[in-house]
Structure 1
């Protein structure tokens, strides 16, 4: 089964088509954020741009479903996607760096590749979550203690799926192989979808508040 998937995604043509879709999706979301949704806080604009960069048209669909003022109503599902995107934007940076460093540059075995990639993903993912809290005046200690448990659960679920997928799907590929980059893209999106139900549960139980309704942000911007 894994070999069949590897054969399917191990083509430069397929990767090129995907990257073209990613580029078009990023351009669309940046344009929409600047023209129709510029009221969204800057950190969340970065979150959406990075989410679409990692997941292309899939990320764009998630943004259109949950991240714009044009959504018809809010829901737990939409809150879950906004919450997981926030985590995803930081974790993605760490995962990409970790895979390139550990596998691409130093050809480490799966154990050390997983440790390094997870560590970087955790650091960046956690930073992207407590950074906005500290910008709003919260101390590092309060932001850390308030977010530690919920974000740790979200990150562990996301990266367990993403890293495992990437290491096994990428196999012995190197940075000169299409499979190396294709498997990285596949693993990122699978990690996002794996963490979404975890974020739904965290929000439902009150462990996470969920990111704010983008329609409320527009009303607040108009009031100011």
Structure 2
């Protein structure tokens, strides 16, 4: 089974088609954020841009479902997707850097590749969550305490699945192989969906807020 998946994604043509879809998806989301959803906070606009950069058309579907003022109603499911996207935007940077450094540059074994990639993903993911809190005037200590438990759970679930998938699919490849990049893309999206149920539970039990309703943000912008 694993060999079949690897042979399916180990083609430069397939990777090229995917990257073209990512570029088109990113262009559409940027256009939509600038023209029809410019009221959304700048940090969240970056979150959606990075989500689409990592997941292409899948990211667009998530954004359309949960991140725009055009959503018909809000729900726990939509809050969960916004919460994961916020975590994902930072973790993705760390994961990409970690895989490129550990596997691509230094050809490390899976153990050290996993440690380095997870550490970078955790640091970037956590920073992307406490950064906005501190921008809003919260002290670092309070922001850290408020986010530590919930974000740690979310990041551990996301990155455990994503890193395992990436190393399982492409751990023997190099940066000169299409499989190296394709497995990275596949693992990012799988990690996103793995963390979604965890975030639903965290929001349901009050450990995370789920990010603001994009329709409320528009009303707030009009009030100001």
Q: Shorter-chain TM-score: which interval?
A: over 0.9
- Quote the offset at 1:91 in angstroms: 0.1
Identify the residue that residue 72 of structure 1 maps to in structure 2: 72
Q: Please give the alpha-carbon distance, in whole angstroms, between the structure 1 residues aligned to 2:171 and 2:207.
A: 37
Is residue 42 of structure 1 aligned with residue 42 of structure 2?
Answer: yes
TM-score, length basis structure 2: 1.00
Identify the residue that residue 218 of structure 2 maps to in structure 1: 218
Q: Please give the alpha-carbon distance, in whole angstroms, between the structure 1 residues aligned to 2:208 and 2:89.
A: 17
- Quote the offset at 1:112 in angstroms: 0.3
Gaps of 5+ in 2: none
Q: Please give the alpha-carbon distance, in whole angstroms, between the structure 2 residues aligned to 1:157 and 1:90.
A: 14
Counterparts of 1:74-223 in structure 2, within 5 Å, are 74-223=74-223
Q: Please give the alpha-carbon distance, in whole angstroms, between the structure 2 residues aligned to 1:33 and 1:127.
A: 23
Q: Please give the alpha-carbon distance, in whole angstroms, between the structure 1 residues aligned to 2:23 and 2:170.
A: 23
Identify the residue that residue 55 of structure 1 maps to in structure 2: 55
- Quote the offset at 1:171 in angstroms: 3.2
- Aligned residues of 2:47 and 2:86 also touching (Cα < 8 A): yes
The number of residues matched between the two structures is: 224
TM-score, length basis structure 1: 1.00
Q: Please give the alpha-carbon distance, in whole angstroms, between the structure 2 residues aligned to 1:187 and 1:52.
A: 14
- Aligned residues of 2:22 and 2:56 also touching (Cα < 8 A): yes
**Residues 75-116 of structure 1: per-residue CA shift (max 9 Å, x gap):** 000000000000000000000000000000000000000000
Q: What do you get for the CA RMSD once the two structures are aligned?
A: 0.4
Gaps of 5+ in 1: none
Flag as ranges the 4+ runs of structure 1 deviating above 3 A.
none
- Aligned residues of 2:134 and 2:140 also touching (Cα < 8 A): yes
- Quote the offset at 1:172 in angstroms: 1.1
